[in-house]
A and B are shown apart, each in its own frame.
Chain A
Amino acid sequence: EDQVTQSPEALRLQEGESSSLNCSYTVSGLRGLFWYRQDPGKGPEFLFTLYSAGEEKEKERLKATLTKKESFLHITAPKPEDSATYLCAAIPRGSSNTGKLIFGQGTTLQVKP
């Protein structure tokens, strides 16, 4: 069964304290791994897509990486405005024509000033 698991469920950081969020996946023939950011009361907002092991993508203080079993979202010197829930989602081979995503439970990040 295709599955995506995120850890930790919640993370509290001080401003400037770098850390990483984990997304482990068990998916038949990964076609893409997505990262989204979700603010309270809003819908998920697209951040990155990763396609193959070894790939990295960056946006401001965020860097996403991918291995054959997991993806990491590294947050460097976070600011309070980085506080949000971060979701990862995978497209397995069988869903490559339908776009059906398998989501993890999310990691809620709080960055304190």
Chain B
Amino acid sequence: NAGVTQTPKFRILKIGQSMTLQCAQDMNHNYMYWYRQDPGMGLKLIYYSVGAGITDKGEVPNGYNVSRSTTEDFPLRLELAAPSQTSVYFCASSLTGGSNQPQHFGDGTRLSIL
């Protein structure tokens, strides 16, 4: 079982470039999440989805977009990269949003904007 797979693992972008961070899960989970992790700041929720076709903003959505066309995939789009978006990005999934269902995380994408 692969769990949650994120690609790429590392990426360097120039200011103003665009890119898509990929996330796929093979556990048939309905709920998926995107977080960013900055040093000393913990994980902050960017966007989440409760099922295919349904997405909503988290705590820090500005500068990002998402889509959820299938249960398995939840890509995160950066349209105009800015230095403030340098971070480690984690995708997670869970069967439901209930507190009895822990989120399973991928190993992250480390993104630098120069």
Contacts and interface: CB of A to CB of B under 8 A. Distances in A.
Interface of B: 4, 31, 33, 35, 40-45, 48, 50, 56, 58, 90, 92, 94, 96-108
A45 B43 CA distance: 13
A98 B103 contact: no
A46 B92 CA distance: 11
Contact of B45 (A32, A43, A45, A101): A101
Nearest to B102: A46
Contact of A95 (B42, B97, B100): B97
18 contacts: A32-B100, A34-B102, A42-B108, A43-B107, A44-B105, A46-B104, A49-B99, A96-B99, A97-B97, A97-B98, A99-B48, A99-B99, A99-B101, A100-B45, A100-B48, A100-B58, A101-B43, A105-B42
